[in-house]
Amino acid sequence: MTNPFRGSVPSAMFEQLEPRLLLNGNVVVQVQRGDLVIRGDAGNNEILVEQGASADQFNVTGQCATTVNGQAGVQVFNSVNDDIRIRMRRGDDIVTIDAVDVPDDLRVNTGAGIDVVTIQNGCQIGDDLNINTRGGDDEVILDTATVNDRTRIRTRYGDDTVAVSDSDLNGNLNINTGPGDDEVDVDPTDVAGNVWVRTGRGVDDVELSDATIHGECRIITQGGNDVVTVMASELKDLLVIKTGFGEDQLTVNGSTFRARVKVKQQKQNDTLDILGISQFDGPVLIQQGGGDDLLDVENTTFGDDALANGQWGTDTFTDGGGITGSLDTQSYEL
């Protein structure tokens, strides 16, 4: 539909508003006791952090009219041998950290606004990685990075995206999103520790694809029609998946589970598909809760202790063929 008001704003009014809409800010950068400290202002800040000519030298560049310490272009900072700490304020901020070796912790905090935080191109984090965004439709991307200890990513209310891909995480991975329609993707990534993914209320999509997880893995979603997918992955310890109230879709495709698996779906009409030559070596407990639920299993190998219980409602189990081992199904119509 054509907006009847489009083109009707006087040009003088547009000329008054345009500078404010395009306002970008300034970031203050200092080296404090070996830490590289970056602080944004209330404007829309966009910065790029890169490695300098030596291990303790870093370049910070303001982009799209953002200045660094009041200056345009690349600014060079020396004697950085500890943490990198970035704190942005209000505004729509973009923080890109590209191919750097962080001696110790990397901490990124953003304020209210539509923010994008990207860590990419072989970044090496010496210790912990902590990313915390506040209200707004935020995006956090961790691509081809190595983190030597814990990785913690937390977003608040808003429709957020968290993507972890082609990375090596040598500690625990904790992803926590707030209310909103969120998407969490953990793609070809190796996690040496535990994984905890928790989403808030909203229509959420969580996917593990071609991931290897050596510790426990827990995926918990709240109310909303959520989608959880585990595809072509290997989980070597306990897996717990718990979805909240809503019509949820859980798919397991071509994955291997070396230890115990617990799946609990809450009330309403839920679906669970297990297919694609999946293998369960340990005990399996599936509880689909109240509602008219569907369980579809094909081309899957179970161990000696696998139980699926539809619980309350008119539930349906479909044997798609290719099942080996024993799966005890209770409270299902065949």
Q: With bands split at pLDDT 50, 70 and 90, how would you rate the model's confidence at 297?
A: very high
Residue 231, domain extent: 184-334
Total number of domains constituting the chain: 2
Cβ–Cβ under 8 Å, residues 327 and 308: yes
**Are 143 and 242 in the same domain?**
no
Residue scoring higher pLDDT (46 or 15): 46
Is 317 among the domain residues? yes
Check pLDDT > 80 for residue 95: yes
**Are 159 and 219 in the same domain?**
no
Q: With bands split at pLDDT 50, 70 and 90, how would you rate the model's confidence at 23?
A: low
> Across the strands, what pairs with 97?
49, 119
Distance from the Cα of residue 245 to its chain's centroid: 21
Is 71 among the domain residues? yes
DSSP string, 185-203: EE-S-EESS-EEEE--SS-
**Residue ending a domain, choose from 148, 171, 194:** 171
What distance separates the 2 farthest-apart alpha carbons in the chain? 77
**Are 64 and 98 in the same domain?**
yes
Cβ–Cβ under 8 Å, residues 319 and 302: no
pLDDT score at 1: 38
Q: Indicate the range of 200-214, 249-263, 306-320 predicted with least confidence.
A: 306-320
**Are 218 and 292 in the same domain?**
yes
Give the containing element (helix H, strand E) for 17. Answer: helix 11-21
**Are 51 and 157 in the same domain?**
yes
Cβ–Cβ under 8 Å, residues 126 and 147: no
**Residue ending a domain, choose from 138, 171, 204:** 171
**Are 129 and 218 in the same domain?**
no
Check pLDDT > 60 for residue 154: yes
pLDDT score at 21: 42
Instruction: Share the mean pLDDT of the chain.
Output: 91
**Are 210 and 143 in the same domain?**
no
**Residue ending a domain, choose from 171, 205, 228:** 171
Give the containing element (helix H, strand E) for 175. Answer: strand 173-176
Amino acid at 182: D
**Tokens 């997880």 label which residue?**
213
Check pLDDT > 80 for residue 209: yes
**Tokens 């009014």 label which residue?**
13
**Are 331 and 191 in the same domain?**
yes
- Which pTM was predicted? 0.91
**Are 162 and 208 in the same domain?**
no
pLDDT in tens, 104-135: 999 999 999 999 999 999 999 999 999 999 88
The tokens describing 258, both together, are: 């070396």
**Are 213 and 297 in the same domain?**
yes
Cβ–Cβ under 8 Å, residues 101 and 81: no
DSSP string, 25-52: -EEEEEEETTEEEEE--SSB-EEEEEE-
**Are 145 and 195 in the same domain?**
no
Is 14 among the domain residues? no
| d(C-alpha 49, C-alpha 61), whole Å | 7
Check pLDDT > 60 for residue 19: no
Is 52 among the domain residues? yes
Cβ–Cβ under 8 Å, residues 125 and 146: yes
